[in-house]
Structure 1
Amino acid sequence: MQHFSATDPTPRSLGFAMPAEWQPHAATWMSWPADDELWFGHLAGVREEFAELVRTIAHFEPVHLLVRDEESEADAAARLGGANVKFHRVPLDDVWMRDNGPIFVRNAGGEVALINWRFNAWGGKFDWQNDDRVPEYVAGALNVPHWDLPVVMEGGALEMNGDGVCLTTRSCLLTDTRNLGLDESKYADWLRAFLGVSKLLWLDGGLENDHTDGHIDTITRFTDEKTIVTSTEADPNDPNHAVMQKNLDDLRQMTDAHGQPFRIVELPLPANYLEGAEGRLPPTYANFYIGNGFVVVPQYGDPNDQRALEILQPLFPNREVIGLPSRQIIEGGGSFHCVTQQQPAGAIWKP
């Protein structure tokens, strides 16, 4: 297993870039929930919803599941039965694999490597030391070459279209608790060099009371190279209304890597206000996960649940769009995209 640093030849210089999520996967990586205190007493319900999510994904592609300890592994094994899941015993702080896990890159020959960014629990909000080591574990488990970088970066902060364009939010990346001194231009340099991003597009902010400071994957997603689905809030008195409207207006002015406008599709936020242990929760349908032949969409027992599925299904004509319950998972502040990380299909790179 070969390590590279920020001063070695970059992935971009070697022909690597981060593929779009809808490109073929070798597997999905996840972590099993284990701490009842972190879930505000909802762990049993969270595990029930997690099990349904893991079983659904495993029906379409292999799942690598990190488990903290013997109890977690036994619980997961009992709930998952004979699903296509491989267990890995790894020290963990939490389950948000999208943010603390590796980001995979692939070259034109179809070979795969990974990037080990730093993780600090969204600016030091929670414990992170164990979760920050997960990319190194994954690299070792796969024997895949990887770059170890000094920059804090969360996968949920980045939305890629597979053609050089990345969407992100200022409210998240420009906080001084992540990478003090990095401005929009410097972020663009890092993402160009290590993920192959040729055009970085910025929205201002995300959902109210989102502890990630407004991750893009909770509000605005690509469904193909040219199409963006973005969250909207119809109630002008709701604090999310103005932010989502500004995002919508900005997206309509943006263009792709070739100077062409995007197709913008509006996706309503859930109609009901959800309250958690620490105030308002940030439920959203945009936190779907795209895999081999499927898309899983969080559902909250909300009047807009079915409408969200009806909007998303035509955007994924060759995939089964599946609604699964996430009312318990959202108590932790995220949903399906936040707890998954795709491993692109391809042979392991042999430099």
Structure 2
Amino acid sequence: MTTAPANTPIVTPSEWAPQKAIWTAWPADPAEWNDDLETPRRDVAALVRALSIAGNKVRVLANGDEAEATAHAALPIDVAEIIPAKYGDIWLRDTGPIFAQTPEGVVALRFRTNSWGGKYDLPDDAIVGDHIASIARTPIRRFDFVLEGGAVDHDGEGTILTTRQTLLNPNRNGWSKEAAEAALREAFGAKKVIWIDEGLKNDHTDGHVDNIARFVAPGRVVCQAPAGPDDPNAATLDAIAATLARETDAAGRKLDVIRIPGVGLYHNALGEVSPASHMNFIIANGVVVVPIYGTATEADALQALQTVFPDRAVVGVSSRGLLGCGEAGGGSFHCITQQEPA
């Protein structure tokens, strides 16, 4: 494992830039999934197949002999590469490296993890990012502060979307806004940070931005509209859109804000209101994979996103198993993946 020089310029590519591979992981610990691994595994397998059909190279970590055997059984060699590895759970967007580019080539940015503010302390979550970087043969650049990949979204030109609820939360770094922006400049070469107040109700991550607003092109963002009068996030979704509509990006462009139908009121198997979101999509080579939940608005949401991504297939895949219930799950496809740029 090598360490990248700390003083070289850095650019964090947009997610729509060409990708070398997509990394994800296979659900392996029954205790993290209410003793039901079959349901989330079904969602992960469907995601991987959708990415593979579009021509993406998918690398799937598997923790332990049982996980490795079942991953191989579900995902043939022409669909995914299965790699033995240790990890706490599958949320690689947050525990894996964030790949960036320097004049010397791609580097793996590594941050401290504190288990989403001390809520989910799992063995090996702190080291899986180093393991991925080693397998990818990518030098590491380390930063001595807590940051999860799902807390930031990039336009590839130096603009970052994030939320105060996550980055300024006392359970992370205890940052002021100024300290957070300085850290983002250091880590990502950020030129402009756009702040959204908060994320969805009952989000385990304390409001990660990848569940509420995403860049889809330079100067263009998508966010959700309330699905109906009973939408528990209606006020939050409207506030997000209003905030974005007032903003400009690092190049000075006024943001083009596109709203798509939200999921609306969604109850999980325990009857809890869950943070289901179509924003947790993955942009990959040739395809955008969108989480769906069997709700009335999903067809309209997929159609709206197809208009946003005319050069990619937009594919809806069930993510109800990944969303889970209780302490299990809580995320979706973007949360369990990390792209490696070409």
Q: Same fold (TM over 0.5)?
A: yes
| The one of 57, 60, 75 aligned to 1:65 | 60
Across the aligned residues of Structure 1 and Structure 2, the Cα RMSD in angstroms comes to 1.6
Asked if 1:99 corresponds to 2:94, the answer is yes
Asked if the contact 2:108/2:141 (under 8 Å) is kept, the reply is yes
| The one of 257, 260, 273 aligned to 1:280 | 273
Q: TM-score, normalised by structure 2?
A: 0.94
Distance 2:210 2:17 in 1: 17
Q: Deviations over 1:275-332 (max 9, x none)?
A: 3448321111010000011100011111111111111001111111111111111111
Match of 1:39? Answer: 33
Distance 1:88 1:235 in 2: 43
- Mean CA deviation greater in 290-299 or 231-240: 231-240
Taking a change above 3 Å as real, the CA distance of residues 147 and 309 of structure 1, as seen in their structure-2 partners, is same
| The one of 234, 238, 247 aligned to 2:240 | 247
Match of 2:320? Answer: 327
1:281 maps to amino acid:
S
Deviation at 1:93, TM superposition (A): 1.1
Q: Deviations over 1:187-208 (max 9, x none)?
A: 1111112211100110000000
Asked if 1:2 corresponds to 2:2, the answer is yes
Distance 1:42 1:285 in 2: 24
Q: Deviations over 1:246-273 (max 9, x none)?
A: 1111111000112221111112221342
Distance 1:186 1:163 in 2: 21
Query: SS of the counterpart of 1:17?
Result: coil
Distance 1:228 1:287 in 2: 13
2:74 maps to amino acid:
R
Distance 2:205 2:149 in 1: 11
Asked if the contact 1:102/1:115 (under 8 Å) is kept, the reply is yes
Asked if 1:294 corresponds to 2:287, the answer is yes
Match of 1:156? Answer: 150
Query: SS of the counterpart of 2:93?
Result: helix
Match of 1:122? Answer: 116
Q: Deviations over 1:199-224 (max 9, x none)?
A: 01100000000010010000101110
1:1-351 equivalent positions in 2, closer than 5 A: 1-4=1-4, 9-10=6-7, 14-59=8-53, 60-107=55-102, 111-180=105-174, 182-236=175-229, 238-277=231-270, 279-331=272-324, 332-345=329-342
Distance 1:183 1:271 in 2: 33
Query: SS of the counterpart of 1:229?
Result: strand
Q: TM-score, normalised by structure 1?
A: 0.92
Query: SS of the counterpart of 1:191?
Result: helix
2:78 maps to amino acid:
A
Distance 1:51 1:24 in 2: 23
Number of paired residues? Answer: 337
Taking a change above 3 Å as real, the CA distance of residues 238 and 301 of structure 1, as seen in their structure-2 partners, is closer
Asked if the contact 1:100/1:131 (under 8 Å) is kept, the reply is yes
Query: SS of the counterpart of 2:314?
Result: strand
Distance 2:93 2:271 in 1: 22
Q: Percent identity?
A: 38
Distance 1:136 1:73 in 2: 20
Deviation at 1:236, TM superposition (A): 4.9
Asked if the contact 1:28/1:62 (under 8 Å) is kept, the reply is yes
1:126 maps to amino acid:
Y
Distance 1:192 1:61 in 2: 31
**Unmatched 5+ residue regions in structure 1?**
346-351
Distance 2:305 2:30 in 1: 33
Distance 2:78 2:199 in 1: 35
**Unmatched 5+ residue regions in structure 2?**
none
- Mean CA deviation greater in 143-152 or 229-238: 229-238
Distance 2:13 2:287 in 1: 17
Q: Deviations over 1:144-177 (max 9, x none)?
A: 2111221111110001111110000001111111
Distance 2:307 2:225 in 1: 19
1:133 maps to amino acid:
I
2:156 maps to amino acid:
G
Deviation at 1:92, TM superposition (A): 1.6
